[in-house]
Amino acid sequence: MSSPSKRREMDLMKLMMSDYKVELINDGMQEFYVHFNGPNESPYHGGVWRIRVELPDAYPYKSPSIGFVNKIYHPNVDEMSGSVCLDVINQTWSPMFDLVNVFEVFLPQLLLYPNPSDPLNGEAAALMMRDKPAYEQRVKGILSLSNPEQCSILLFLLLYIDIRLLHSVVDVFSALHFNLICAHLTLPLPSLAPQPEYCEKYAKPEDIGAAPEEESSDEELSEDEYESLDDEMAGQADP
C-alpha cells in the first residue's frame, strides 16, 4: 500500500473520530459526503450542509476538492455548482493540512469572514457590500430551506396541515350530504287523493260523495208495460 493511500485512510478515520457524519459514495475512500454545521456567531448558525469531498490520488500533496451539495448563499460559493473559492484549498494547500483542518478551521473561517472582493456569487457579494443586514436576512431565509432537518420538519407540518384540511373538507361535505338527506326526507309527500279531473271523468257518483241519480232499469220499465197491457185487455173483456 502506497503512502498517499495510507494518508487518505488515516485522515478519513481521524475525521470520523471527530464526530463528523461521513457517508462514503462508493467502496473506496476517495469520495464521500461530510455533514457540516454552520459556525456560531454567524448568519449561518443552525444550518447543516452536505459537503462533497473528493481526494485526488496525490493527496495530501494535492488539495482535496470540496463543494456544497445543498444550497448556500455566500459570496465565495458558486450558487449553481456549490464549488468553493478558498485560497487555502486552491492555492496555499500544504501536506501538513488534513481533513479535520478543512472542517474545523477553513470552512468555518469562510462562513465567518466572507470575501466579497473575490466572489463566485456576484449577487451575494454586491448585497453584502451594499446592505449587510439585508444580506444576512437573505442568508437566513435560504438557510431555512437548505437545512435538511428543518425541511423535514416543514414537510411534516405541511403534510399535517394538508391532512387536517382534508379532514375538514370531508367533514363539511359529510355535513352537507347529511343536511340534503334530511331536507329530502322532510319534504311533503305527494297527495294520494284522486284529482278532481279524474273524479269527474271516471269515478262513480257515490264514490265522490254526490247523491246518486235515480234511474229506472230496463227490467222495471218492461214490467210497467206489461201491467198496462193487462189492464187494457181486462177492460175490453167486460160487456
pLDDT at position 175 = 59
Question: Which residues pair with residue 83 across a beta bridge?
Answer: 67
Structural domain contains residue 174: no
Q: What are 175-201's pLDDT values in tens digits?
A: 565 565 556 555 454 554 555 555 555
Number of domain units in the chain: 1
pLDDT at position 7 = 93
Structural domain contains residue 205: no
CA distance 63 to 176: 69
Q: What are 108-126's pLDDT values in tens digits?
A: 999 999 999 989 999 999 9
Catalytic-labelled residue, pool 85, 151, 182, 199: 85
User: What domain range includes position 68?
Assistant: 3-148
**Residue 171, amino acid:** D
Structural domain contains residue 207: no
Q: Is 37 helix (H, G, I), strand (E, B) or coil?
A: strand
Q: Is the peptide bond before 60 cis (omega within 30 degrees of 0)?
A: yes
Q: Is the peptide bond before 114 cis (omega within 30 degrees of 0)?
A: no
Please identify which residue in the block is written with the cell numbers 262513480: 204
User: In the structure grid, which three cell numbers stand for residue 177, read together?
Assistant: 350530504
Residue 50 CB coordination number (10 Å)? 17
Structural domain contains residue 135: yes
CATH of the domain at 35: 3.10.110.10
Whether 54 contacts 138, CB under 8 Å: no
Structural domain contains residue 160: no
User: Taking the C-alpha atoms of 52, 55, 61 and 63 in order, what is their torsion angle to the nearest 10 degrees?
Assistant: -20
Structural domain contains residue 200: no
Whether 34 contacts 51, CB under 8 Å: yes
Structural domain contains residue 109: yes
Structural domain contains residue 128: yes
Task: Examine the residue annotation and report whether 85 is marked as an active-site residue of this protein.
Answer: yes
Per-residue pLDDT of the chain (239 residues; tens, 9 = 90+): 458 889 999 999 999 999 899 999 988 889 999 999 999 999 999 999 999 999 999 999 999 999 999 999 999 999 999 999 998 898 899 999 999 999 999 999 999 999 999 899 999 999 999 999 999 999 999 887 766 555 455 555 556 665 666 656 556 556 565 565 556 555 454 554 555 555 555 555 555 555 555 555 444 445 555 555 555 555 554 44
